[in-house]
Amino acid sequence: MDFVYHVEGGDFTNAGSTSSEVKRMLKKLGVSPDIVKRTVVALYEAEVNIVAHAYRGDITVDLEEDKVRIVLADEGPGIPNIDWAMQKGNSTASPKVREMGFGAGMGLPNIKNNSDELNIQSEVGKGTTIEFVNYFNK
Amino acid sequence: MTVEEIATLVQGEIIAGTEYKDKKVERVFASDLMSDVLTLKDYDNLMLVTGLCNLQSIRTCEMSDIEIILIVRGKVVTPEMLELAEDNDMVVIRTDFSLYKTSGILYGAGIPPVY
């Protein structure tokens, strides 16, 4: 079952609303609280990244019996060096993003910590796609 | 310690979730950096103390399963923040005290930190 949500770059008012909906959905399905938390923390970090860095993006949530697969595909500047961006403390966030309590270079590492599988593809000048999977029964 | 006792200690007021004034707070984490809050492990009855006063501080608590948030430095909490907090059955307390003073009072009163 697929659900698709649209996210606008720079829209900090609504940043997190998709994560909020997905949290409600997973809770309603009876997914265990620790898996719900891991999933929505990873999703929220990635959703904020779209708002903070990209022009726009789509989030596809694919719910399967044993897992949730989430793909965040954005149109934006892309990440020139993913290995660099995955290291704690490395960030290109604007002062506005930092004012919102983010931009400390902890987002991508935290997505990794809160997902069972993670794949990041990026093309400079085009955009970034983050895909992660969390299993319900580990 | 209860939410109501904490509000009294910091000379603050409960501005959302007054029906949960008897809820217990067992640990406190203080930060203006939401990225740090998002790295916390699960703790029952955890309260966030922060001077970051915007929708993302409420959202971050929602994602982190933190149900009690104490806003310091006399920041103005917007109606949108209160609505989001109430939608998520959260308690919001506000105080004019600084982050340092608030943390000192709560630590002195015996509420342990997360780490």
Query: Which residue, among A111, A110, A130, A132, has the nearest Cα to A120 in the 3D structure?
Result: A130
B13-16 and B46-50 strand pairing: unpaired
> A129 near A72, Cβ under 8 Å?
yes
What is the structure's pLDDT at A138? 67
What is the structure's pLDDT at B4? 98
| Predicted structure pTM score | 0.94
User: Which residues fall within 8 angstroms of residue A81, CB to CB, at 6 or more apart?
Assistant: none
The residues spanned by each domain of chain B are 3-108
A3, pLDDT greater than 70: yes
pLDDT digits (tens, 9 = 90+) for A80-92: 989 999 988 888 8
CA distances in angstroms from B45 to A94, B22, B68, B82, B94, listed in the order given = 34, 12, 8, 20, 18
Q: Structure tokens of B8? A: 């009294």
What is the structure's pLDDT at A100? 84
**CB contacts, 8 Å: B62 with chain A:** 16, 20, 23
Would you call A16 and B55 a contact, using CB atoms and an 8 Å cutoff?
Answer: yes
Inter-chain CB pairs, A–B, below 8 Å = 69
Q: What is the CATH number of domain B3-108?
A: 3.40.1390.20
What is the structure's pLDDT at A72? 98
β-sheet bridge partners, residue A63: A68
- Assembly ipTM: 0.92
Give the rounded distance of the alpha carbon of B42 from its chain centre.
16
